[in-house]
Each structure stands twice: as structure tokens, then as C-alpha cells.
Chain A
Amino acid sequence: MSIEIKTNSVEPIRHTYGHIARRFGDKPATRYQEASYDIEAKTNFHYRPQWDSEHTLNDPTRTAIRMEDWYAVTDPRQFYYGAYVGNRAKMQEAAETSFGFCEKRNLLTRLPQETQKQLLRLLVPLRHVELGANMNNSKIAGDATATTVSQMHIYTGMDRLGIGQYLSRIALMIDGSTGAGLDESKGYWMDDELWQPMRKLVEDSLVIDDWFELTLVQNILMDGLMYPLVYDKIDTWFESQGAEDVSMLTEFMRDWYKESLRWTNAMLKVVAGESDDNRELLQKWIDHWEPQAYNALKPLAQASAGIDALDEARAELATRLKKCGLQSQGVSA
């Protein structure tokens, strides 16, 4: 049995906006579509930016990559703002439970001093890498054209700030919320030999001008090596050091990375598939940056999970790139 409420049905005169209908036909559109396509200004800009007079505002030539239509790059997760914050709210709820659990039972402060120090030295400094990623993604969101592309980057930028904050809270849990653990950890980032290649790489990424080169370097190459190494391999290694509880506090990062692969892979596939010129340029950038990312992570791997672990991550990245017709040095390693 079903019940039927009578409603006053009204025939619409159109089903969606004209700019959506031109792409998808005049039929009911999804919220993702109406939020993401062609709402950004495209033409007739009034003034050249004083910070970049070579280009107009919203200039698609701010990257050397060429796309017939940047809206061809879309988000497989279909994130518009509402969907994005809804998803992250659920993820943070789970993270909050884990942080609360660890705090209540003093799971980190009960660890041996040496292990605590390792966390401050090998894990927490990544908060600075996250801030670099936050800055890079904010730049990309400001420079990219097409909302389907730029919004994925502002979401990622805010995610990276959030991840940096979770990493910081691990130190605050260790130091009893005094900040001493964070000071110590920042000292390693600034001066410890182990971090210097990585800090140099992050600083180098902050002066990359071409936003697509930057998203490749940051969101695909650096993260493609760093996330599997740190949150998978080094996580296992920490477990072997008796710090298995830390895994609870980095679960957010593992879930996040797995999800981010969806949009980064989709973006790379579309952009590389657009033309030989694009693929050649991407290859040139990969040849330049992938070995640097690898070398930057070497000391961290050596001090923890071992070079083999980093090589495994490198091979994973090579497999991903290969699916887009791109090569990296991972296979030979």
C-alpha cells in the first residue's frame, strides 16, 4: 500500500539555467552542475592585474597547459561547497572521537620518551609541509580558470590546513598543551639535516609560477610519494616501535588521501589525454620534479621505514602515472 498526497503540480518553463542547458540539455540539473559550470567570468575584463600585467583576470594562459575547455576537468566526487563540508564534517567527527579517546586514556603520554621524541621529529614536522600545500592550493584556486577545477583546489587547500592542525594536536597531546612539543618539532624542521631536503623542496614549490605545474608537483608528485610513505609505511613502522595508537590519529589522513586520488587521477587523465603537447609538458615537469620529491623524502625514509618503503611508494606513483601515458623513475627503483 502507498499513500498519495495530492499536490498542485506546476509546469516549469525551463528546467535549468541556460548555461547548464547548453552543456547538458534542458533537463533537471544536479546541484553539482548548477554550482560548478560557467558561473565564473570569462570575458570582457576591465583592467589588467597590477600583480601580473602580462595576463588578464581569469586568464587561461596563466598555465602553459592548453585545454579546449577547462570544464572538461571535473570532480568524480561531485563536490560543491555543501557536499564538501558535509563530507568533511563526518570525517572530522570520527577524528574527534579518536583524539578524545587518546587524550582521555593518555595513550601518547604513556609512550616512552624516545618514541615521543620520534613522533615530534619524524611526524609532526609534516605540519609545515601541510602549510606549504595549503598555500600552493590557495594560489592554484586563485589562478586556475573554471570552477570545476579551482574549487577542488580550494577544498584541498583547506583540507591541508586541517591536516596540519591535526598533526599539531598530536604534539599538543604529547606536551600537555604547552606548545613545547611544537617548538621542538619546528626546530627539527628548521635545522635537522633530515628535514632540509624536504624543506628546500617545499620552498622551491612556493616559487613555481605555473599553476598546473604546481598542482602536478604538489598534489600528485609530492603527495604521491609522501602520503603512502608516511601514513602507510611509516605508520606501520611506528606500530613496530610500540606507537600503534598514533594510527588512530592519522586515520583522517589515510582516508583523505585515498579520496584525493580520485580527483587527482581524473584531472591528470583528462589533461594528459587532451593533446600530445600537454603530455610532453607534463612529462618534462615529472622528469624535473619527481626525482627531487624522491630525494627529499629519502632521509625521512632512511630514519624510519627504510628506503625500500619509499621505493614502493615510488613504484605506486609510477603505476598511476603510467595509466595517463606518463613515465617516472619509479619502476626501475
Chain B
Amino acid sequence: MAVKNKKLNLKDKYQYLTRDMSWEPTYQKKEDIYPDERFEGIKITDWSQWEDPFRLTMDAYWKYQAEKEKKLYAIFDAFAQNNGHQNISDARYVNALKLFLSGVSPLEHAAYQGYAKVGRQFSGAGARVACQMQAIDELRHSQTQQHAMSHYNKHFNGLHDAAHMHDRVWFLSVPKSFFDDARSAGPFEFLTAISFSFEYVLTNLLFVPFMSGAAYNGDMATVTFGFSAQSDEARHMTLGLEVIKFILEQHEDNVPIVQQWIDKWFWRGFRLLSLVGMMMDYMLPNKVMSWAEAWEVYYEQNGGALFKDLERYGIRPPKYQDIANDAKNHVSHQAWATFYQYGHATNFHTWMPEKEELDWLSEKYPDTFDKYYRPRFEHWAKEHAEGRRFYNNTLPQLCQVCQIPTIFTEKDDPSMLSHRQIEHEGERYHFCSDGCCDIFKNEPEKYVQAWLPVHQIYQGNCEGGDVETVVSKYYHINIGEDNFDYVGSPDQKRWLAIKGKSSEEKTESAKQDAA
């Protein structure tokens, strides 16, 4: 044995326990073992420069994670045994969980699959190992979320078929296409999209609002999951930052490629977050903070500092950031107005905010809410009170990229819908914004493939041509149970019964709606 006297330091020891197990192949060509590492044009000159974002050997991983799981499941058991669902702030809160289970949990599973894939694709073993650990963490999250919501599913509607709905329901194609987009990209783009843009830049605007919402609304099962997942998320964020710095440091030619990905994934993430904004402002009976406040703190301030830090690599803040910053005062209201109109085709209930809630919104959005949204909402509330709950029976125009109905408005004119269109190989495509239109123009061959729910209904691919058949047969939304207004819903009736109140007066108007 060659003489070496110095004991390994922690960093070197971890490298011996991970990347040193890898070797330079000689019987097979490296390009054949790692065939997906080059097609995106990213140049990696030296994988040994990869800094392990965390040092966790498997024995330690098993030990820590098992301790966390033990505590988590003890809470789940106690929650179910004591019917913890009766202690939440209000049953309207559960609608945030319905959105989460059908919109977000399936993404955790997709993340598991995506990280397992990139955990094999890179020739750098350090990066592979970090990705594999995230893969199994994401599997954890997808499974513990099923278990956290399991008890709610026994007592509320709309949580009963989340994965089936995720593959089909019109608004769920927004998160689904987001993750399909990342998973169908190459390994470097996947990490830029999910590890960096999603986990590092935007996680405080996605994961955290749901978990804080749970904390503020007495949902012990979900908030305990959130705390339990926190240290996993911290690891995922450090991976996200390491990935981006590593790619940028490897070769200057990588900079423009990464910049384009950052632009794209910032915009896609921002659009996806409209759903979270609406959840925060409208679906939480006890509000955590407004969407605009969250955006200011977590994107404008934290994101601003991050992009300042990345300047030295030649990276600028994402394109159209100014439009996103301006939109913080609008998107949640525009999204809720849309879901309210299409509440017959959702697996969660919608409603008009009560007076104090409207006042809260007026206070939080002094420049926009009273001017553009409150009058419409008061009108709808009045209509509802008079037995004319408004539902929109036409199908909306979807954006070809983000797949949200084209409901957003122009930056300088909130009374003008933002709409872009282009012709590509003889077909016309529609977009909600320049941001989405640019994404299409950069990769038209990808986005022409999009499975647009409205188009699919019209093409007869959803088990029926009329909305009711599609909703019940294809989506598995139970009509009269999962959908329509919260007022008069079975969820509301059960909740009032739990709280020992009568539901008579409110159900009257709802009966008329359903008719």
C-alpha cells in the first residue's frame, strides 16, 4: 500500500464514499454509457470541480429520515384518531388541500421520476448521487402527502381521485405540462428548471404558502408534513444553487443557454404560481399574507439578491420580470374570477369572499382591487343571493404554452386582455403573453405537441362533447358533490353539522344554482 499519512478531511472522505466509486470506463465508450449528456450543448470540461452540495452517506440518510418519518406518522395517526379535521378553521380551507393533492402531489411523483432519470444521466458521480437522493426524497413527499390527506378524503369531497384528475382536468394541465416540459428536456435543463428555478427561486412561493396556510388554519397533518419535509427542501435548494454555479463556471458558452432556460422557467413558474396566489388570497379562511406581499418578499427581495449574486457569471434577471412584478397585484384576482366562473368543472368549491374578506383584499391591494375586481365580485355575490349563481358555459381559449385560459391583462392596461398569436407551419397558435409566446418560438416543435384540454374536448377525446359528461365521466368529478359553489355543498353541510349549526338558509339559494 502506498504510504499516506494524512487522514482524509470530511470533504475528501465523502468524495471517496461517493464519486471515487466511479471510474473511467474502457470497455464501453463514455458517450454510450452517458448518451444524454451532450445534446443540449452544455459543455462540462471537468466534473471533478463539482462541489457536493451536502454530505450525507446512506447510513446517515436512513437514520435521519427514519427518525423524521417516525415522528410524522405518529402525528398522522393521532390526527386521524382524534378526527383532527374537525379542528380546522373552516371547511373552505380543505379546498386548498384539494388543489394541492390534485395539482402539486402528482408533481412530487413526477419529480421522483425525473431525478431518478438524471441520477443516471450525468457522468459526474457526485451530481448523480445528489440527484438520486432528491429522487427518493420526492418519492417520500408524494407518498406522505397521500397519507397526510388520506383522513381528509374520508370526510370531504374532491380529494378522491387526484392522480386521475391530474392527467385530464383542464386546469391541472397547467402543472402537468409544466413538469412534463421539464422531464422531457435534457438533464441540464431539467435541473435548471426544477432544482434551480423551481426549488431554489420559487419554492417559498409554492411549497411554503401551502404549509403556512395549513399552520394558520389548524391543519395539523399537513403542517407536520411541511415541517418534516423542510430539511429535505433545504438540501434540494442547495443542490439547485450548486447546479447553476457549476454549469456556469464550466464554460462561458453555457451562459446564453442557461440564460434562456432561466427566462423560460421563471416565466413558466410565474404562470403556474397564479394558482398558488389565488389559493393564498381566496381559499385560506385565515390568511397568511397576501400574494403580492409574498411575491415582494420571496421574489423581488430574495430573488433580486440572488440574481445580483449571479451577475458575475454574466447572468441577468429573467426576461419579463418587470411584467411579473407588476402582475402581483392582479393575477390572484383574475385567477379566482376564472375558477369562480368555471366552478362547475373543478374538483374544489368556489365562492365569493365575504365582506371582511373583501375588505382585507381592498386593504392589501389598494391600487387594484377596488378599481378592477371588487365591483365584479360584489355583482356576482348579488346575483348569487338572488338565485343566479354565475357559471360560464363556454370553453375558454387556452395559452399554447402555460395552458392557462388567456385571462391575464396587459401590464399598462388592466382593462385589456393580453393575447398574442403567431402562425407556425400553417397553424395559428394563441398565447397569454410575450413570455409564453417567446417560449414557443424557441422550441415550436415541442409546444405544438401540447395536450390542450379544451382542444381535446372539441376533438371528442374526452368521452363526450358536453361539459357535464366530460366533467363526470372523464374527469371523475362527482357532480353536486365535488363541484359548484361552496355554499350549499355537502362539504358545507357536514361542516355546519360538526359545528352544530343549521345550513337551511344557505342551501336554499344553492339548490336553485344547481338547477
Distance, CA A230 to CA B424, complexed state (A): 61
CB-nearest residue of chain A relative to B179? A41
Question: In the complex, how many angstroms separate the beta carbon of B107 from the nearest chain A beta carbon?
Answer: 10
Distance, CA A31 to CA B157, complexed state (A): 20
Q: A35-B143, A49-B183, A96-B59 are in contact. Are A58 and B150 (CB under 8 A)?
A: no
Task: Give the residue of A18, A35, A159, A182 whose beta carbon is less than 8 angstroms from that of B161.
Answer: A18
Question: In the complex, how many angstroms separate the beta carbon of A83 from the nearest chain B beta carbon?
Answer: 9
Give the chain A neighbours of B32 by CB distance below 8 A: 207
B177 at the interface (CB under 8 A from A): yes
Q: A39-B163, A86-B69, A131-B22 are in contact. Are A168 and B17 (CB under 8 A)?
A: yes
A186 and B20 within 8 A (CB) = yes
Question: In the complex, how many angstroms separate the beta carbon of B33 from the nearest chain A beta carbon?
Answer: 5
Distance, CA A88 to CA B62, complexed state (A): 6
Interface size class of A (residues with CB under 8 A): 35 or more
B65 at the interface (CB under 8 A from A): yes
Per-position binary interface string of chain A over residues 151-171, scored 1 when its CB falls under 8 Å from any chain B CB and 0 otherwise: 100110111011011101100
Distance, CA A57 to CA B146, complexed state (A): 22
Per-position binary interface string of chain B over residues 189-232, scored 1 when its CB falls under 8 Å from any chain A CB and 0 otherwise: 00000000000000000000000000000000000000000000
Per-position binary interface string of chain A over residues 81-105, scored 1 when its CB falls under 8 Å from any chain B CB and 0 otherwise: 1100110110111011000000000
Per-position binary interface string of chain A over residues 183-217, scored 1 when its CB falls under 8 Å from any chain B CB and 0 otherwise: 11010011000000001100110110000000000
Of residues 66 through 105 on chain B, the ones whose CB sits less than 8 Å from some CB of chain A are 66-67, 69-70, 72-73, 81-83, 86, 105
Task: Give the residue of B66, B133, B139 whose beta carbon is less than 8 angstroms from that of A88.
Answer: B66
CB-nearest residue of chain B relative to A136? B120
Distance, CA A13 to CA B168, complexed state (A): 24
A46 and B450 within 8 A (CB) = yes
A77 at the interface (CB under 8 A from B): no
Q: A17-B162, A41-B110, A85-B65 are in contact. Are A165 and B59 (CB under 8 A)?
A: yes
Per-position binary interface string of chain B over residues 151-185, scored 1 when its CB falls under 8 Å from any chain A CB and 0 otherwise: 00111110111111011100001001100110111
A289 at the interface (CB under 8 A from B): no
- What is the interface of chain B mostly: helix, strand, loop, or mixed? helix
Give the chain A neighbours of B120 by CB distance below 8 A: 135, 138-139, 142
A172 and B16 within 8 A (CB) = yes
B113 and A150 within 8 A (CB) = yes
Number of B residues, CB within 8 Å of A: 104
Question: In the complex, how many angstroms separate the beta carbon of A138 from the nearest chain B beta carbon?
Answer: 4
Task: Give the residue of A19, A178, A184 whose beta carbon is less than 8 angstroms from that of B163.
Answer: A19
Question: In the complex, how many angstroms separate the beta carbon of B454 from the nearest chain A beta carbon?
Answer: 13
Distance, CA A157 to CA B58, complexed state (A): 11
Give the chain B neighbours of A91 by CB distance below 8 A: 62
A177 and B167 within 8 A (CB) = no
B476 and A18 within 8 A (CB) = yes
B83 and A203 within 8 A (CB) = no
Most chain B CB atoms below 10 A, which of A19, A142, A150: A142
Give the chain A neighbours of B20 by CB distance below 8 A: 168, 182, 186
B128 at the interface (CB under 8 A from A): yes
Most chain B CB atoms below 10 A, which of A91, A165, A190, A204: A165
Q: A131-B22, A141-B116, A203-B33 are in contact. Are A50 and B106 (CB under 8 A)?
A: no
Give the chain A neighbours of B494 by CB distance below 8 A: 13
A34 and B119 within 8 A (CB) = no
Give the chain A neighbours of B58 by CB distance below 8 A: 88, 92, 158-159, 161-162, 165
Question: In the complex, how many angstroms separate the beta carbon of B325 from the nearest chain A beta carbon?
Answer: 28
Give the chain A neighbours of B168 by CB distance below 8 A: 43-44
Give the chain B neighbours of A154 by CB distance below 8 A: 112, 116, 132, 135-136, 139
Give the chain B neighbours of A85 by CB distance below 8 A: 61-62, 65-66, 69
Give the chain B neighbours of A128 by CB distance below 8 A: 21-23
CB-nearest residue of chain A relative to B157? A13
B117 at the interface (CB under 8 A from A): yes
Distance, CA A88 to CA B73, complexed state (A): 17
CB-nearest residue of chain B relative to A42? B167
Give the chain B neighbours of A17 by CB distance below 8 A: 146, 150, 153, 159-162
A64 at the interface (CB under 8 A from B): no
Task: Give the residue of B23, B66, B121, B185 whose beta carbon is less than 8 angstroms from that of A86.
Answer: B66
Q: Which of B3-11, B247-255, B413-421 contacts A (4 or more CB under 8 A)?
A: B3-11
Task: Give the residue of A51, A141, A207 whose beta carbon is less than 8 angstroms from that of B186.
Answer: A51
Question: In the complex, how many angstroms separate the beta carbon of A282 from the nearest chain B beta carbon?
Answer: 23
B142 at the interface (CB under 8 A from A): yes
B383 at the interface (CB under 8 A from A): no
B184 and A184 within 8 A (CB) = no
B21 and A131 within 8 A (CB) = yes
Task: Give the residue of A58, A82, A166 whose beta carbon is less than 8 angstroms from that of B69.
Answer: A82
Distance, CA A327 to CA B39, complexed state (A): 41
B109 and A41 within 8 A (CB) = yes
Task: Give the residue of A45, A51, A169, A178 whose beta carbon is less than 8 angstroms from that of B4.
Answer: A178
Distance, CA A92 to CA B255, complexed state (A): 43
A14 and B69 within 8 A (CB) = no
Q: A14-B153, A19-B163, A143-B117 are in contact. Are A48 and B5 (CB under 8 A)?
A: no
B125 at the interface (CB under 8 A from A): yes
A235 at the interface (CB under 8 A from B): no
Question: In the complex, how many angstroms separate the beta carbon of B55 from the nearest chain A beta carbon?
Answer: 12
Of residues 5 through 19 on chain A, the ones whose CB sits less than 8 Å from some CB of chain B are 7-8, 10, 12-19
Give the chain B neighbours of A244 by CB distance below 8 A: none
A251 at the interface (CB under 8 A from B): no
B183 and A57 within 8 A (CB) = yes
B451 at the interface (CB under 8 A from A): yes
Most chain B CB atoms below 10 A, which of A10, A47, A159: A47
Task: Give the residue of B1, B5, B140 whose beta carbon is less than 8 angstroms from that of A120.
Answer: B1
B17 and A47 within 8 A (CB) = no
CB-nearest residue of chain A relative to B159? A17
B62 and A162 within 8 A (CB) = yes
A45 and B451 within 8 A (CB) = yes
B160 and A18 within 8 A (CB) = yes
B164 and A141 within 8 A (CB) = no
Q: A17-B162, A85-B65 are in contact. Are A49 and B136 (CB under 8 A)?
A: no
A51 and B155 within 8 A (CB) = no
B2 at the interface (CB under 8 A from A): yes
B129 at the interface (CB under 8 A from A): yes
A180 at the interface (CB under 8 A from B): yes
Task: Give the residue of B73, B451, B456 whose beta carbon is less than 8 angstroms from that of A82.
Answer: B73
Known: A131-B21, A142-B114. 4 other contacts (CB 8 A): A39-B142, A49-B183, A183-B2, A183-B4
What are 6 A-B contacts defined by CB distance under 8 Å?
A44-B173, A50-B186, A142-B135, A165-B59, A179-B12, A189-B23
The 5 closest A-B pairs by CB, nearest first: A162-B58, A142-B117, A89-B66, A12-B154, A35-B143
